Structure 1
Amino acid sequence: MKHIIWVLWPAFIAAGIAEIVFFTAIDPQQLYLLGQPVELPAMATYSIGFLMFWLICAGSSLMTWFMLPHEVKSALERYAGGRDDLARPKRTR
């Protein structure tokens, strides 16, 4: 499960940034797909755009994971070890 998070979380952040930059410069009502204007509501265009950016960024993160040397992957596995959450230590009650 950690491997999936290690790939999808950076892709999610990068897709958010890419969408902000893209839709700051381009109005969704002015987009064309295969020569035809996109006639979706703006919110649907933003949502589809985000999912497409996320898919592209996830592919990039996945390629990076596949290209990592085995030693680096092993070190990540050892560091992550038995910890379920690397962001903060578990609470004790």
Structure 2
Amino acid sequence: MTSPPTDRPTRTLCILWPAFLMAGVLETLVFAVVDPEHLQWFGAAPIEWQPTTVYSVTFLMFWMVISLASSITQFLVHPDTR
């Protein structure tokens, strides 16, 4: 087993880059099924955003959640490399 990277920029990129790729995959899968022009707030009024805005906001949300999960995994596996 190799040792984890010790410098912060490398560790950060090891978390953000795969999360970026997976957010793109998840975005593609979700919007292959969901039409962004027909989204509603929990059955209430429809969302009045442009489709590009919906795509961008959901991508950033997916990226943030996946990055957070990867960061927690990094911390749990290697707690001594903070």
Q: Which TM-score band applies after superposition, normalised by the shorter structure?
A: 0.7 to 0.9
TM-score, normalised to structure 2's length?
0.79
Identity of aligned residues (%): 33
CA RMSD of aligned residues (A): 1.6
Aligned residues: 72
**What is the CA deviation profile of residues 45-89 of structure 1, one whole-angstrom value per residue up to 9, with x for unaligned ones?**
101110011011111111110111458x6xxxxxxxxxxxxxxxx
What displacement does 1:36 show?
Answer: 2.5
| Structure with greater Cα Rg | 1
- Partner AA of 2:68 in structure 1: G
Q: Which runs of 4+ in 1 moved over 4 A?
A: none
TM-score, normalised to structure 1's length?
0.70
Gaps of 5+ in 1: 74-93
Q: 1:54 to 1:23 in 2, by over 3 A?
A: same
Gaps of 5+ in 2: 1-8
Identify the residue that residue 62 of structure 1 maps to in structure 2. 71
Query: Higher strand proportion, which one?
Result: 1
- Find out whether 1:4 has 2:17 as its counterpart: no
